Structure 1
């Protein structure tokens, strides 16, 4: 991931996010079927809004995308990086 480090199942406030990259202040969430209901979408919107108020950006991906199009999933994350790190 272009030298970035990610933490898995990282606690931020009242939430535990799937992945967090401190250098980018980027949260990556993987959403399964429970997220695609009216209540799931409302909960996700509230969660994203709360994380945004902390200065974090949130990317959401469907679980199936990770399994079926891993390269596209990873490219989507890298495209969200703000700065190039020196390696």
Structure 2
């Protein structure tokens, strides 16, 4: 447990620039009035951003996710999260910088599709 807490703290402190920028717009219920958590543990994984209310996960991927081993790991991880009832949305880091409005619109669209929890 302490290892996971320490790891989450490390990840929060060393957030890539793309994650930091997106966090500025997801935090404090800025989008759809829902709460996002950053570097949030789910199962044995730590996800970039999670909205528990709508069961949406937003992941930002860098170039290392193009490697074959990383692709397989990401597929397994996503399958595990989806089996747990989560919707996983993935973007490349460069999309946050080059297509920010489109990224935000897609996150918004996914949140609205799922609607408020009962």
Shift of 1:13: 0.9
Shift of 1:84: 5.5
Give the number of the structure whose alpha-carbon radius of gyration is greater: 2
Partner of 1:4: 34
Do residues 68 (structure 1) and 98 (structure 2) align?
A: yes
Provide structure 1 residue ranges, at least 5 long, that are not aligned to the other structure. none
Provide structure 2 residue ranges, at least 5 long, that are not aligned to the other structure. 1-30
SS in 2 for 1:80: helix
* CA distance 1:52–1:84, shift in 2 (3 Å): closer
Matches within 5 A, 1:1-87: 1-81=31-111, 82-83=114-115
TM-score (norm 1): 0.92
Task: Decide which moves more: 40-49 or 76-85.
Answer: 76-85
Structure ranking higher on relative contact order (CA contacts 8 Å, 6+ apart): 1
Q: Which runs of 4+ in 1 moved over 2 A?
A: none
More helix by share: 2
Contact 2:50 2:56 in 1 (8 A): yes
The superposition leaves residues 36-79 of structure 1 with CA deviations (integer Å, 9 ceiling, x where unpaired) of 11111111000000101111110100000011221111101011
The separation in 1 between residues aligned to 2:80 and 2:51, in whole angstroms, is 17
More strand by share: 1
